[in-house]
Amino acid sequence: MRLLPFLLPCLLALPVLAQKAKAPGKTPAKAAEPVKEAKVDWDGEWTLAASQSDKLDEQIEAHVKDLNFAMKLYWKKKLQSACKEFNKLDILAGESFSVTMGRERPIDTPADGTESDWKRSDDTVFKATLTKDGPTMIQTVIGDGHTLKYVYSMRKDGNSLALQVTYTHPKLDNPFSYKLVFKRND
């Protein structure tokens, strides 16, 4: 209690000492202006960076490992036929987007999320949509009882992108997901 009379004036003086003295004739610094986000350039040919990508067969094996023998074979075959690893990606951007994965037919969709039909090379018809928001583009392909969601994320360097693929099916307990990384061709 003896220290209280001595500490009380010091504690009351702290807010005054904490205030910064304004130098005469100087104006306060301007707040930093927000940096405009650079336009994302999706156009181009891209090549798979296999060392940075998931190994698809290993991912499928890990996903079905806890299923019984029959279901493991069934889902492994379904996942292998729907989920593909491709070495090349070709994107043409504009009012609409054309995305070609490997040697597959291009998926042509407007960038506003409007649904369009896409016929795969085996003549199976799917419904496809695409939306983009800055460095992210989401393409959804629905058909044959399953949904494939492709989330493209442009990296800051603009010369590489990550593609997160998610497969969902009403009879599959957990969605299956894997990542592919692509580098822009020069």
Summarize pLDDT for 55-76 with one digit per residue, the tens.
999 999 999 999 999 999 999 9
Contact between 115 and 128 under an 8 Å Cβ cutoff? The reply is: yes
Residue 136: pLDDT band (50, 70, 90) is: very high
Residue 144: pLDDT band (50, 70, 90) is: confident
> What SS3 state is found at 142?
strand
- For 22, the token pair is 């304004």
Is the pLDDT score of 181 beyond 90?
Answer: yes
Q: What is the pLDDT of residue 135?
A: 96
Which domains does the chain show, CATH number per domain?
44-184 (2.40.128.20)
Higher pLDDT, 1 or 133: 133
Residue 95: pLDDT band (50, 70, 90) is: confident
38 Cα distance to chain centroid = 17
Q: What radius of gyration do the chain's Cα atoms show?
A: 27
| pLDDT mean across residues, the chain | 85
Is the pLDDT score of 27 beyond 60?
Answer: no
Contact between 95 and 79 under an 8 Å Cβ cutoff? The reply is: no
Strands (E), 64-184: 88-92, 96-101, 107-110, 116-119, 125-133, 136-143, 146-154, 160-168, 176-184
Q: What is the pLDDT of residue 25?
A: 52
> What SS3 state is found at 186?
coil
Is the pLDDT score of 99 beyond 50?
Answer: yes
Summarize pLDDT for 105-126 with one digit per residue, the tens.
999 999 999 999 999 888 889 9
Q: What is the pLDDT of residue 38?
A: 58
Summarize pLDDT for 159-179 with one digit per residue, the tens.
999 999 999 999 999 999 999
Higher pLDDT, 116 or 22: 116
CA distances from 116 to 55, 127, 132 (A): 31, 6, 16
- For 81, the token pair is 């036929």
Exposed, middle or buried by CB within 10 Å (0-12, 13-18, 19+), for 79?
A: buried
Higher pLDDT, 20 or 95: 95
> Identity (one letter) of the amino acid at 170?
P
pTM for the structure as a whole = 0.78
